[in-house]
Amino acid sequence: MCLFRPLWKAYSLSSYSPIISTRMMNCILLSVLISFVYLIVSLSVSMLQPKDTINAYFSSSQDQPQSLTEIDHIVFGIGSSLNSWPARRDYVKLWWDTQRMRGCVFVDSPLSSLENNTDSHLLPPICVSEDTSRFRYTWAGGDRNAIRIARCVLETVRMFNNSAEEVRWYVFGDDDTIFIPENLARTLSKYDHMLWYYIGATSEIYHQNWLFGDDMAFGGGGVALSSSLANVLAKNFDSCIERYPHLYGGDARIHACVLELGVGLSHEPGFHQFDVNGNALGILTSHSTRPLVSLHHMSHIDPLFPNSTTFSAIQHLFSAVELDPLRIFQLSVCYDRRYSWTISVSWGYTVQIESRHMFLRDVLRTQETFRPWQNFGGLASVYTFNTREFNPDPCKRPVTFFMEHVSSTPDDGTIKSVYKQAYENCTYDPISSPRKTEEVRVFSTRFDPDIRKLKAPRRQCCDILPTSSTDGKVMEIGIRECKEDELIYMNP
């Protein structure tokens, strides 16, 4: 700087002082000006640069927005056999869409030409599983087909991992697993398929979970693997299952091999193993606020609707699924102050009216309408959810109305579902008893929550609507999104 610059010319004392004084002053002023400018620039940079850096840091650490998973992003592997496929193919036909879905049904030996061609254009392709005789199976009394079913993972990934169309998820189930495809796709949209995810649900029976694994996705309810995990799993799958000849099922082998990669279960209660017998009404009418993804073991439970076969009842259910899939079985509870009734709407399935006031937490307990999977007592009848008594006297149970039909109004998008009372030969008070009601009409709009709301679901509210029916034979209910601070309880 100027203060340290040497002066090579000699001046007399009288001439030197004014010159040095002027130069000194100029240098000092210039230095102050430069310092001031530097200070201003430094402060500006210090205020702006850290903010940009912090924003960049947080934006990189948060989940980047991604497009919704669609049905055509999913590949299905369905475990079947030569013996079971002819009886179960109609179940798959209910939910399979040949225009949008990819996958394969794995059987143990080729089907006859007649079996393979009948309605084949409505079903997934048939694939014959590879030979698994080289693998040991030591579970006493078990079925070594479990190894073949487990290897559906490997064979499906090999078949589709070089597909020209994007594969985000591989989903596996049995030939009697009924998927709700749109709900499956929306549920998987909550997860980043580029990360390693193993998704499904456990059994409803404590003993089944204790025996096979309470952190395992049971195969009948369905198993979803992100493509990134499935591709790595497939590379090591055969060497892995050689270490587990003592396991019972194919799902247990998938679970063991996923664990070896350090991945645990992401539990989604919309997958239903259904290890129960008898009447499943109690489980379905207390369904989670998460979307229904799958149903299993339908042939082991009573038809979902009265006066129906198992298959026709599921067909009837799908008439509601087609109009509003994400709302199916979603439970809304409202109260009739005039009669002190508690009304619960399991959309697309039933409306139940209790002739008394019930707290919401009690309504949500599962009515024990069903029987355990095995009947040897002890832990066999211990369930993984809270239950409440289902009165043995039909006349003391809630009055149940089953879905009759569903329709949609194109003009305003209103969906109307109609429920008719299941007849019971009971005496009742014609003034105060809900048995006087013969029909319930429920009005709603298509339920279409975004991903944020799917990650943090909230039950919807309902209201009893005024009706022109003066004899109480018809009740009308509206379902809507709850207000921000609205509570679901019976007002005094």
Give the DSSP per-residue string, 80-100. --TTTHHHHHHHHHHH--TTT
342 shares its domain with 265: no
Last residue of a domain, one of 273, 288, 319: 273
pLDDT for residue 379 = 78
355 shares its domain with 463: yes
Q: Give CA angle at 172 (285, 386), nearest 5°.
A: 25
Phi, psi of 172 (to 5 degrees): -120, 140
3-state SS class at 57? helix
pLDDT for residue 410 = 86
238 shares its domain with 350: no
358 shares its domain with 476: yes
CA distance 169 to 197: 9
248 shares its domain with 380: no
The structure tokens 């029976």 sit at 205
The structure tokens 């030591």 sit at 138
Strand spans (E) along 243-384: 265-267, 276-278, 294-295, 331-336, 341-346, 350-354, 366-367, 370-372
Phi, psi of 376 (to 5 degrees): -100, 10
pLDDT for residue 23 = 61
Query: What is the span of the domain harbouring residue 168?
Result: 71-273
Structure tokens at 381: 């009848």
87 shares its domain with 214: yes
Give me the residues paired with residue 492 across strands: none
247 belongs to a structural domain: yes
CATH number for the domain harbouring residue 88: 3.90.550.50
371 shares its domain with 467: yes
Last residue of a domain, one of 273, 288, 322: 273
40 belongs to a structural domain: no
Domain count within the chain: 2
| C-alpha gyration radius of the chain | 33
Q: Assign residue 376 a region: left if phi > 0, alpha if psi is -120 to 50, beta otherwise?
A: alpha
pLDDT for residue 117 = 62
CA distance 190 to 324: 19
pLDDT for residue 5 = 35
CA distance 35 to 317: 78
109 shares its domain with 240: yes
Exposure string for 82-110, b = 16+ CB within 10 A, e = fewer: eeebeebbebbeebbeeeebbbbbbbbee
293 belongs to a structural domain: no
226 shares its domain with 375: no
Q: What is the DSSP letter of 340?
A: T
251 shares its domain with 347: no
3-state SS class at 66? coil
The model's pLDDT over 109-133, given as tens digits with 9 standing for 90+, comes to 998 865 656 678 899 999 999 999 9
Last residue of a domain, one of 253, 273, 293: 273
160 belongs to a structural domain: yes
The model's pLDDT over 43-97, given as tens digits with 9 standing for 90+, comes to 444 444 444 443 443 344 344 556 899 999 999 999 999 999 999 999 999 999 9
pLDDT for residue 58 = 35
170 belongs to a structural domain: yes
Judge residue 488's burial from the number of C-beta atoms within 10 Å of its C-beta, 0-12 exposed, 13-18 middle, 19 or more buried.
middle
460 shares its domain with 360: yes
**Quick one: which of 253, 250, 189, 199 has its CA closest to 224?**
199
Complete DSSP assignment for 403-452: EEEEEE-TTT-EEEEEEEEPP------TTT-GGG--EEEEEEE-----HH
Phi, psi of 94 (to 5 degrees): -60, -35
467 shares its domain with 351: yes
299 belongs to a structural domain: no
pLDDT for residue 125 = 95
Q: Which stretches of the chain score pLDDT less than 50? A: 1-20, 41, 43-63
Q: What is the DSSP letter of 338?
A: T
53 belongs to a structural domain: no
284 belongs to a structural domain: no
CA distance 279 to 400: 14
